[in-house]
Structure 1
Amino acid sequence: MAISLDSSVLDQLNTTKARELHKLTDELSTYGVGRIVNLPQIIVVGEQSAGKSSVLEALSHVRFPVKGDLCTRFATEIVLRQARQTRVHVSVRFDDKSKPSWTCQRVESSQDDLPDIIKEAKEVMGIDSTGGDFCKDILQLEIEGPNLYPLTLVDLPGLYHGETATQSMRSKETVDQLVESYTRQKNSIILVVVAANNQLANQIALKKVEKFDPNRERTLGVITKPDLTLPGKPEKCDYLRLARNQESAHKLKLGWHVLCNGADDGDTLDTRDATEASFFETTAWATISNDDRGIVSLRKKLSKVLYSHIRQNVSTVMDDIEGKLRERQEELGQLGPSRSSSKKRRSFLLNISQKFQKLVWDGIYGRYNDPFFGDLGDANHKLRSQLRNFNLAFDYVLATRGSRLAIAPDDDWNNTQPHAPGFLKSFLDEYPFDFPEPESISREALKRHLESRAAVNQGCEFPGSHNADLIVQLFQTHASPWKDIAAFHIKQVTLVAKAFVDQLIRHIVGQSDGNPTTEAILCGCVDPFFAEKEKLLSDKLEELLEPYSRGYAMPLDVEFRQMVANRTIKRLSERLTKLSEKQTNPTNAAEFKRLKKDMLEEAASTLDAVDGGQFGTENVIDMMLAYYEMSRRTFTDNVINLAIEGCLIRDLPNILTPTQVDKMDQEQVKELAAEAEDARVRRKQLRVESDVLREGLEQCRKYKPRGVTVVPSSKSRIQPVIEGRGVSGFVTLFTSPARPVAPDRLLASPATESLTVSASSPRPASPLSQNPSAAQGKLTPLVPVL
């Protein structure tokens, strides 16, 4: 037998507007809009035998096993959902997270099978039906059907006072923890059930609920078993006052409600409802308002509570709708207008080229205001920033690894190596320039090597001089890593520039998947441009290296002579300093003259060593290092400005220009801007979906709760105070309709609201301020004027 739920009864738990809202969100879910989240759940809290399960059964007409403590040992969730097919999905969520959940699905089943389902679940949980064990495992029954609306009903074990023969204190703690886990959830609407045949002062459920709902905003009281109270007893008077919400200690914002006991085993639920209606018409409980007694009125009351809770989530749904609408508008913008004619296709290309040129120039000049460039933390699309980082990395690597030799000891060379700042180290980790460190060689070893080379390359130079080619050859050996480092740098920058252009085209035209225009522009315009530039940059690098490789890049006289002289003077002064340290202090004039003469003779003898002996190798090294340093700086600037900027970056906007589009023939325009059939279908679909989403947004606005705009009272006036005299002022408060602000919040947190303060004429000075202090006129923080 198919599942049979009384949809007319469940409908009473939803107001007409709630059903409309659920239907609306269900229709919008087709377009990716999320349904209402954080849906309310009705949980029933009360002592054992208070009639909790009977209340749920009466509310929903879903049969709960209420006899023999069958359903009171663990929590049972009945989750109702709307679906085309009717089915029941049963699962057990174990408190022990290491155990996998147990599930079973019943497409053909009856709601009368619930006791059997629960019995099967108890066996899975390991609960003995005759014992007194309780557990934190949760039985969940998801019931889906075409006439159901989202709702969750939770039946919880009953609270009890203390330990008994069959119920231990450990089990009591388990029940307390389970009840608390549900009552603390903000989406729980708590039905606190109290039996009228039990003294009100003994009802522990009231204290338990108040702990997690101290403002009593989401608790609705239910009085059961009114037929078991004796006439004239004080308890009956207490419960009558409670039903009217007149019991000051237990007054609830949602009020109280009175229900009769559940149906007998042989009675139908409809019979139970009729019996209850008859009872309330013929007893003292008839004095209670119709709105606060009977199951039908309770459903109506709960429907309003549920709808109020659902409305609080409409803003989230609206945000989701606006997001989906924005996605479709962006996709429509990328598809552009219909391109059915040659004129429309050319206009479409012109629009793309204009946007492309603007954003390329923005990237080149570092203007990152367009959304394409992302926020402050996004680096991928910020072309100028990436270029600067690559250039800094190139300069650093060329300074530290651009030389073949590391000559030591030479303080002027060794101790002035640049240090990479933190951001550059991070950049080099991401884009490593993997080149070897310079080969270490002592100055003496280099001099011996140069002497052997100079000996076999002597020309017509005078003794003590050197062959000019020796300096050039040493420089060429020293600068041999430049080509590889520069080529690597140019390749990396070219890849970054191409990635920038690719992403920009995709941003303007749309992703290449399924977009023939994007593919056509990338293949027909972008790829040929960079293929040409790669060849041009390779040739440019050879051109920049040629003066050094062929040896005709002569340095400027003044700077070069100064750098060589500085190195020679520094080396000579260091040797003279060492000589002076060897001498002792003279005791008389004669000894002083002798020491002075010896020092001068020894210093003179060092001149030959300073010059580098017969072949002037010391001068060769000094001149080579000075020439190297000057050339390295020039080469670095040339690679950056003449190669990268001059041959590549400045031409990026010319990849696709309006002038080029104007000169294209119809075949070229059609090849680039032709529209596929699926694009036309997609545009039409997007327009229909956008219209549906706009209409859904307007419908949601009808259900969104609106706050009350607060007019500030005189107590909320805020004014600046100048020490020594007061300045009166007034405040204009702007509040969002969805977030009304109470006046007392202005004094509690003035910085959280938008305030406009205007100062009027100053008040007359008080007698105490006739002699202002030195601090008079100093502006102090805002203070409230009461």
Structure 2
Amino acid sequence: MKIESNWKHGNSLGLDITGNTYMLTMTATKLTQSHISGYYNNENDDSIRLMDKTYTEQTARYIQLVSRMEEKYAKDFVELPKVVFCGNQSAGKSSLLEAIANVQLPRSHETCTRCVMEIRMHETSKTTSWECSLSLRIEYDKNNKPLSEADRKSYPFCKALHNPKDVELMAYRAQKALLNPSEKPDFYLNHQPPDKSKKENNEIEFSMNIVCLYIKGPNVPNLSLVDLPGIIECMINVPQDVSRKLVATIKDLTTEYVKKPKSIIVATIPCDSEDEHQGIHNIINEVDPEKSRTVFVLTKPDRIEEETHERWIRKLENLSGPDYFVVMNPNQAKLIHGVTFTQAREEEEQWFENTQPWCSSIYKDRLGVKRLRARLENLLIGKIRENIPKLMDDISDKLKDAVGKLKELPQPPVNAQIEINRVTKMCEDKIRHKLERSGGTDLNDKNDTMWEKIRNQLKEYKTAIENERPAFVLVSLTARTLLVDVLQNIPTLGHNSGPFYSISVTTMKIANGYSPKDKTFIEESKNIKDIINQARGCLLPGRVPHEVSDSIIRAYQRHWKKHSTQCLKNMFDIMWGEIEQIIRDSAKQYKKLRFFLEGRAKQRLESRKENCEELIESFSDLELRRSCTSDNRVADMKNKYQTELVKLVPNDTEAATVVADVKAYYELSLRRYTDYVCMAITNKYIFGFSENWQNSMTSDIFVDDIEHTGRRIELKELVEEDPVMAERRSTCEKTINRLKDMKNELDVFTYSTS
């Protein structure tokens, strides 16, 4: 069966039946009285009656589809078409909705609509009984602020009702529960309304949460309706700031619902007011300026002043404008006397048939609840059918997205020992890859700065230790020049086995006023000479013992160790930062295993650091023990230094010899020591950390106790998944299952209706 709709504003609705194909069409021409008379009234004419059995079954299936989608929280993924009732307070909105749904809702002045009510209805066979289920859908907190998706919930409020007369009281209780969120909802299951003379006391005046009514049974219209709180301009008996806030809340709530493109808007306008001044007009003009999905319903036509009917009739005649319907619901007196829905509809028909100008109007197809209900039913079904292809596309896109997110999450553990080995091996591979990649860095990874940090640290270390070099200042009074030999100009050994670089000496003029009383021939030469004299013993003058140079060299070498130790400490911080991140990334789903591996890795890194410190200690001890080398280039360097210095200060040859000896050997010793320290840190500490890493992490994990716990390790404890990760996976899986169910149901539905 195919149903096609073409909704033109203000046009009359006809139904053509050809075999099993139903065509809902609209005619743009004005219908004559003969065409319209009896429209919807001929109970026996199946060719024009929209509630035909076959058609009813078809429309019921569409509403059931939407209901099932709602029950599966399809609203979390896609928006479904609904008929939204809105209007100013006391515009007759709730009475209209009652008339369409054939159930009474809370309606006293204290219990007007103070929350959203959603009513889903579908017709069942004559052999079934009427039933109404009530549930609460919580999407906002007590301050009407949206809850996160995880905090949203929906649950039944009471047992299913089988008598329509019970709906009003139970709906009142459900609304009461929403208006008092600090109490559990079942607290109000047996709550009785207070005496009419007493004021209702609630925690909040309005709630954006939803009371859901699901009604099914014989002769039930196939509709999905939403009843919103009436728009108000102000509230009495409340502070002004509270009033302004509540007024804004209701307007925002109304806008939120009616702005959805899939919503069919039913705006109620009482005939005893200027409709253009109704607040609902401003909202509709904003969200639906063309009025392409808005139906205006004029209520209380009996209150139209004499001789002012014409302007209301013109609204019905405006075929190019929005749809207008007129309804006549029972007044308060009749409601108090218990008028039934059947009686109300009969009285409405009689009133329109006997009251001018309605009885002579050719637009009787827009008079009465019965015709409005049929119209809304067809509009809703058309909207649902129109949106099914888009709905399927949306669900497919969201399903693809959810599957992609699930694939990004690690798989849950199957075997604890295998999973622990997998994670530790992953860590080892990542560490090795980071350490051994070609060139030290990955040019495509802008965040990988480990080797850059290591190189900078080694550079800082070398600079710090080079700053410990001895520096001597030589003064030549005869030439009135100052010879400065500082570390920047000290030649250094090359990496090759060739000769030393040439010696470079810097001289500068002695400042005016300089005299021998101000400086000695060699700065520190007095100290050097003292050392020479103390060490000479029985040696002849002119012979300088090697202990002099050794003592000066060792005095500067003693500072090396502290710089080496600090460099190693800084390397520990760099390494730990990288390793900790690798472990966190690899074991992110297992919190306990992550902590365990972090503890062991840090312990291993500390142990490696201690071993490296011992090497540095041995290097320092060897350098401090005795000056020793087999490199002949030191002698060449010393001779070149000495020759240059003696030329400049010929009267101080002993001190010049010591300076040359210190400079030559110190350079070799400094390069040798820093090279060994850098090799130890790089090879023994940095690269050595990854050697046999996996076994060191798990060698005793399967047989020993965790240190300091005093109990045996349970493997399954280590791979207990992080609750946050497990919840994320569970959410993804539930989302996928729900989307698959929705997709399958839509596929089956589309196939069965094609």
Moved more, 305-314 or 255-264: 305-314
Say whether the 8 Å CA contact 2:612–2:680 is kept in structure 1. no
Choose the corresponding residue for 2:554, options 476, 479, 484: 476
Partner of 1:194: helix, strand, or coil?
strand
Tell whether 2:568 aligns with 1:490: yes
Choose the corresponding residue for 1:271, options 326, 340, 360: 340
Alignment match, 1:641: 679
Give how far 1:456 is off.
2.2
Q: 1:355-402 CA distances to partner (integer Å, 9 max, x unpaired)? A: 55543332223489xxxx9x957x5xx5xx424413422431442377
Instruction: Sort the Cα spacing of 1:144 and 1:71 in 2 relative to 1 into closer, same or farther, 3 A.
Output: closer
Q: How many residues align?
A: 562
Alignment match, 1:616: 655
Partner of 1:331: helix, strand, or coil?
coil
Partner of 1:155: helix, strand, or coil?
coil
Percent identity between matched residues is: 14
What is the CA–CA distance in structure 1 between the aligned matches of 2:598 and 2:269, rounded to whole Å? 74
Tell whether 2:311 aligns with 1:235: yes
Instruction: Sort the Cα spacing of 1:628 and 1:695 in 2 relative to 1 into closer, same or farther, 3 A.
Output: same
Give how far 1:697 is off.
3.9
Alignment match, 2:495: none
Say whether the 8 Å CA contact 1:407–1:443 is kept in structure 2. no
What is the CA–CA distance in structure 1 between the aligned matches of 2:643 and 2:109, rounded to whole Å? 108
Q: Counterpart of 1:237 in structure 2: which amino acid?
A: I
What is the CA–CA distance in structure 1 between the aligned matches of 2:472 and 2:746, rounded to whole Å? 78
What is the CA–CA distance in structure 2 between the aligned matches of 1:415 and 1:277, rounded to whole Å? 114
Instruction: Sort the Cα spacing of 1:359 and 1:120 in 2 relative to 1 into closer, same or farther, 3 A.
Output: same
Partner of 2:536: helix, strand, or coil?
coil
Alignment of 1:740-751 (within 5 A): none
Choose the corresponding residue for 1:364, options 435, 440, 461: 435
What is the CA–CA distance in structure 1 between the aligned matches of 2:86 and 2:642, rounded to whole Å? 92
Q: 1:685-715 CA distances to partner (integer Å, 9 max, x unpaired)? A: 999999866543422445899xxxxxxxxxx
Gaps of 5+ in 2: 1-58, 119-135, 138-153, 159-172, 217-222, 354-358, 474-483, 491-519, 707-711, 748-754
Q: 1:108-137 CA distances to partner (integer Å, 9 max, x unpaired)? A: 257984998994458x89xxxxxxxxxxx7
Say whether the 8 Å CA contact 2:298–2:324 is kept in structure 1. yes
Give how far 1:210 is off.
1.6
Give how far 1:554 is off.
4.2
Q: 1:27-48 CA distances to partner (integer Å, 9 max, x unpaired)? A: xxxxxxx955999998765456
Q: Counterpart of 2:335 in structure 1: which amino acid?
A: D
Alignment of 1:330-409 (within 5 A): 330-332=410-412, 335-336=413-414, 338=415, 355=426, 358-366=429-437, 385-400=449-464, 403=467
Q: Counterpart of 1:363 in structure 2: which amino acid?
A: K
Alignment match, 2:625: 550
Partner of 2:72: helix, strand, or coil?
helix
Tell whether 2:92 aligns with 1:51: yes
Alignment match, 2:229: 155
Alignment match, 2:612: 537
What is the CA–CA distance in structure 2 between the aligned matches of 1:231 and 1:300, rounded to whole Å? 34
Choose the corresponding residue for 1:322, options 403, 410, 424: 403
Instruction: Sort the Cα spacing of 1:71 and 1:509 in 2 relative to 1 into closer, same or farther, 3 A.
Output: closer
What is the CA–CA distance in structure 1 between the aligned matches of 2:548 and 2:95, rounded to whole Å? 107
Choose the corresponding residue for 1:206, options 263, 271, 281: 281
Say whether the 8 Å CA contact 1:41–1:153 is kept in structure 2. no
Alignment of 1:678-757 (within 5 A): 694-701=736-743
Tell whether 2:95 aligns with 1:20: no
Q: Counterpart of 2:92 in structure 1: which amino acid?
A: G
Give how far 1:652 is off.
1.3
Q: 1:327-358 CA distances to partner (integer Å, 9 max, x unpaired)? A: 76x233xx24x58xxxxx78x78866765554
What is the CA–CA distance in structure 1 between the aligned matches of 2:233 and 2:537, rounded to whole Å? 112
Gaps of 5+ in 1: 1-10, 27-33, 94-100, 126-136, 340-344, 417-441, 573-602, 706-786
What is the CA–CA distance in structure 2 between the aligned matches of 1:668 and 1:637, rounded to whole Å? 42
Q: Counterpart of 2:155 in structure 1: which amino acid?
A: A
Q: Counterpart of 2:555 in structure 1: which amino acid?
A: T
Alignment match, 2:46: none
Instruction: Sort the Cα spacing of 1:231 and 1:484 in 2 relative to 1 into closer, same or farther, 3 A.
Output: same
What is the CA–CA distance in structure 2 between the aligned matches of 1:446 and 1:689, rounded to whole Å? 78
Whose helix proportion is higher, 1 or 2? Answer: 1
Instruction: Sort the Cα spacing of 1:176 and 1:140 in 2 relative to 1 into closer, same or farther, 3 A.
Output: closer
Instruction: Sort the Cα spacing of 1:47 and 1:470 in 2 relative to 1 into closer, same or farther, 3 A.
Output: same
Q: Counterpart of 1:331 in structure 2: which amino acid?
A: Q
What is the CA–CA distance in structure 1 between the aligned matches of 2:432 and 2:464, rounded to whole Å? 33
Alignment match, 1:778: none
What is the CA–CA distance in structure 2 between the aligned matches of 1:322 and 1:538, rounded to whole Å? 51
Say whether the 8 Å CA contact 1:77–1:140 is kept in structure 2. yes
Q: 1:205-262 CA distances to partner (integer Å, 9 max, x unpaired)? A: 43443235446577554433355568994323323246xxx344xx4xxx66654446
Say whether the 8 Å CA contact 2:557–2:624 is kept in structure 1. no
Scaled by the length of structure 2, the TM-score of the pair is: 0.54
What is the CA–CA distance in structure 2 between the aligned matches of 1:151 and 1:457, rounded to whole Å? 109
Tell whether 2:694 aligns with 1:652: no
What is the CA–CA distance in structure 1 between the aligned matches of 2:334 and 2:369, rounded to whole Å? 29
What is the CA–CA distance in structure 2 between the aligned matches of 1:621 and 1:360, rounded to whole Å? 48
Partner of 2:332: helix, strand, or coil?
coil
Larger-Rg structure: 2
Say whether the 8 Å CA contact 1:223–1:259 is kept in structure 2. yes
Scaled by the length of structure 1, the TM-score of the pair is: 0.52
Alignment match, 1:83: 155
Partner of 2:690: helix, strand, or coil?
helix
State the superposition RMSD in angstroms.
Answer: 6.6
What is the CA–CA distance in structure 1 between the aligned matches of 2:411 and 2:539, rounded to whole Å? 77
Instruction: Sort the Cα spacing of 1:301 and 1:38 in 2 relative to 1 into closer, same or farther, 3 A.
Output: closer
Instruction: Sort the Cα spacing of 1:558 and 1:458 in 2 relative to 1 into closer, same or farther, 3 A.
Output: same
Instruction: Sort the Cα spacing of 1:295 and 1:202 in 2 relative to 1 into closer, same or farther, 3 A.
Output: same
Partner of 1:235: helix, strand, or coil?
helix
Partner of 1:15: helix, strand, or coil?
helix
Alignment of 1:114-193 (within 5 A): 119-120=199-200, 138-139=206-207, 143=211, 153-158=227-232, 181-182=252-253, 185=256, 191-193=266-268
Q: 1:505-533 CA distances to partner (integer Å, 9 max, x unpaired)? A: 67657765566xx899889x968965764
What is the CA–CA distance in structure 2 between the aligned matches of 1:699 and 1:353, rounded to whole Å? 39
Say whether the 8 Å CA contact 1:466–1:616 is kept in structure 2. no
What is the CA–CA distance in structure 2 between the aligned matches of 1:490 and 1:193, rounded to whole Å? 80
Instruction: Sort the Cα spacing of 1:677 and 1:469 in 2 relative to 1 into closer, same or farther, 3 A.
Output: closer
What is the CA–CA distance in structure 1 between the aligned matches of 2:637 and 2:224, rounded to whole Å? 87
